[in-house]
Amino acid sequence: MTHIIRADGRTADQLRPVTIERGWSEQAEGSALISFGKTKVLCTASFTNGVPRWLQGKGKGWVTAEYAMLPRSTNDRMDRESVKGRIGGRTHEISRLIGRSLRAVIDTKALGENTVVIDCDVLQADGGTRTAAITGAYVALADAIAWAREQKFIGKNAVPLTDSVAAVSVGIIDGAPMLDLAYVEDVRAETDMNVVVTGRGQFVEVQGTAEGAPFDRAELDSLLDLAVAGSAELAAIQRSVLQNGAPA
């Protein structure tokens, strides 16, 4: 499998260059500018005391996310959703996916009655924006929680994060499974799958879609193998970035 060379020179099981710039925003409690190749997503985490009304008085916190693309993050300019007056289905879908992925590694009791809103704004899009968003959002969330601990909004011994979480896309192109699809690959993929995996290697989300022909169990298995390996690399990068002390 690894002998196939892709348009950008990668092997089939290779991630694009990943960079995570912690503390990009001077205002957010946590933030990360993440790149998967040319895909760039600015993730900010806003920590506030209190929870939405429907959760009040239960001693639990809340984590939610919103995803959006800048109008010219893509090759052709898209209309703004604010101008159209409504949010599209794809945006809704991805916002919900990011929120669920982060909540899978949150102990809401340990978070206490606090809310973290994660904003993932795509500055430049070249495939994999939702997986980059999840991977960067985790770093922003971790920093916001560290900030809250320093501010004593969270107890000294409370551990709201039960694990890390990262995500990667995989797909089948010309019959071959590939990791971390760039845009030109994504549009050609027969099957496209986004996989969200914890730092311990367990699944949070598996979303596979046959864009062309349906896929069989063997293909599914090989895609999952690729995704698990890629996610482990991303988890290592997240760990490494977060170990470098507090963001500037």
Binding residue ranges for phosphate:
90, 128-130
Q: Which residues contact 228 (CB under 8 A, 6 or more apart)?
A: 195, 197, 201
Residue 7 touching a copy of itself (CB under 8 A) = no
Q: Tell me the window of 3-11, 62-70, 148-156, 169-177 that interacts with a copy of itself (CB under 8 A).
A: 62-70
Provide the 10 A C-beta neighbour count for residue 177: 24
Instruction: Write 209-215 long-range contacts (CB < 8 A, 24+).
Output: 215/172, 215/190, 215/191
Residue 96 touching a copy of itself (CB under 8 A) = yes
Minimum CB–partner distance for residue 26 and a copy of itself (Å): 6
Which x/- pattern over 148-177 shows residues binding a copy of itself (rule: CB under 8 A)?
---------------x--------------
Residue 44 touching a copy of itself (CB under 8 A) = yes
Q: Tell me the window of 49-57, 168-176, 214-222, 229-237 that interacts with a copy of itself (CB under 8 A).
A: 214-222
Q: How far apart (Å, rounded) are the C-alpha atoms in residues 198 and 195?
A: 10
Cβ–Cβ under 8 Å, residues 244 and 32: no
Q: Tell me the window of 7-15, 52-60, 95-103, 167-175 that interacts with a copy of itself (CB under 8 A).
A: 95-103
| Residues numbered 104-143 forming contacts with a copy of itself, rule: CB under 8 A | 104, 117, 119, 121, 123-124
Cβ–Cβ under 8 Å, residues 134 and 198: no
Identity of the residue, 81 or 113, whose beta carbon is nearer to a copy of itself in the bound complex: 81
Cβ–Cβ under 8 Å, residues 72 and 26: no
Cβ–Cβ under 8 Å, residues 52 and 141: no
Residue 222 touching a copy of itself (CB under 8 A) = no
Q: Among 34, 41, 42, 98, which residue interacts with a copy of itself (rule: CB under 8 A)? A: 42
Structure token digits, residue 88: 């599209």
β-strands 203-210, 62-69 pairing:
unpaired
Minimum CB–partner distance for residue 111 and a copy of itself (Å): 16
3-state secondary structure of 152: coil
Residue 214 touching a copy of itself (CB under 8 A) = yes
Q: How far apart (Å, rounded) are the C-alpha atoms in residues 47 and 190?
A: 40
Q: How far apart (Å, rounded) are the C-alpha atoms in residues 148 and 93?
A: 29
Q: Tell me the window of 13-21, 106-114, 129-137, 213-221 that interacts with a copy of itself (CB under 8 A).
A: 213-221
Q: How far apart (Å, rounded) are the C-alpha atoms in residues 203 and 65?
A: 19
Q: By the criterion CB under 8 A, which residues form the site for a copy of itself? A: 25-28, 31, 38, 42, 44, 46, 48, 66, 68, 70-75, 77, 80-93, 95-96, 100, 104, 117, 119, 121, 123-124, 163, 193, 198, 200, 202-210, 213-217, 220, 224, 228
